[in-house]
């Protein structure tokens, strides 16, 4: 099974609050878990990523928490700001294809709105 399940579909947070988006996967062959951020009218852009050998990665206000045994990972946005309003996609990848390409499997996305 190659699905990556993401929740919630949409999220409203007040400025200064914590935004939490969750993802779950089934394929234990996945070895790379990125989060992409997409603003309206733009393409997705890598926000932060983690590998399964660590349980947490923090970059500024953005933190990935990773639970290998539960096959779950989540994005936490601390002190959420209106400028964080965007759609967030989790993804997972594993080696696939003769060229060793890491095929990215995306979650369905979460639309985050941060209200002032």
Tell me which residues touch another protein (CB under 8 A). Answer: 4, 6, 32, 34, 41-46, 49, 89, 93, 97, 99-104, 106-109
3-state secondary structure of 83: helix
Q: How does DSSP classify residue 84?
A: G
Buried b (16+ CB within 10 A) or exposed e, 59-85: eeebbbbbeeeebebbbbbeebeeebb
User: How far is Cα of residue 90 from the mean position of the Cα atoms in its chain?
Assistant: 3
In the complex, the smallest distance separating the C-beta of residue 23 from another protein, rounded to whole angstroms, is: 11
Helix (H) / strand (E) containing 5: strand 4-7
Q: Which is nearer to another protein, 99 or 116 (CB)?
A: 99
In the complex, the smallest distance separating the C-beta of residue 103 from another protein, rounded to whole angstroms, is: 7
Q: Which is nearer to another protein, 19 or 93 (CB)?
A: 93
For the chain, how many residues are written?
116
In the complex, the smallest distance separating the C-beta of residue 79 from another protein, rounded to whole angstroms, is: 25
Q: Which is nearer to another protein, 11 or 104 (CB)?
A: 104
Q: Which is nearer to another protein, 17 or 113 (CB)?
A: 113
In the complex, the smallest distance separating the C-beta of residue 60 from another protein, rounded to whole angstroms, is: 17
């Amino acid at each position: 099974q190659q699905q990556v399940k993401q929740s919630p579909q949409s999220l409203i947070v007040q400025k200064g609050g914590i935004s939490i988006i969750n993802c779950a996967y089934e394929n234990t062959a996945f070895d790379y878990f990125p989060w992409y951020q997409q603003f309206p009218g733009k393409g997705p852009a890598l926000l932060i990523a983690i590998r399964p050998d660590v349980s947490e990665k923090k970059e500024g206000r953005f933190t990935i928490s990773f639970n290998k045994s539960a096959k779950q990972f989540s994005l936490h946005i601390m002190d959420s700001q209106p400028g964080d309003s965007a759609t967030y996609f989790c993804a997972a990848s594993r080696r696939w294809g003769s060229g060793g390409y890491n095929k990215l499997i995306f979650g369905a996305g979460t639309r985050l709105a941060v209200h002032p």
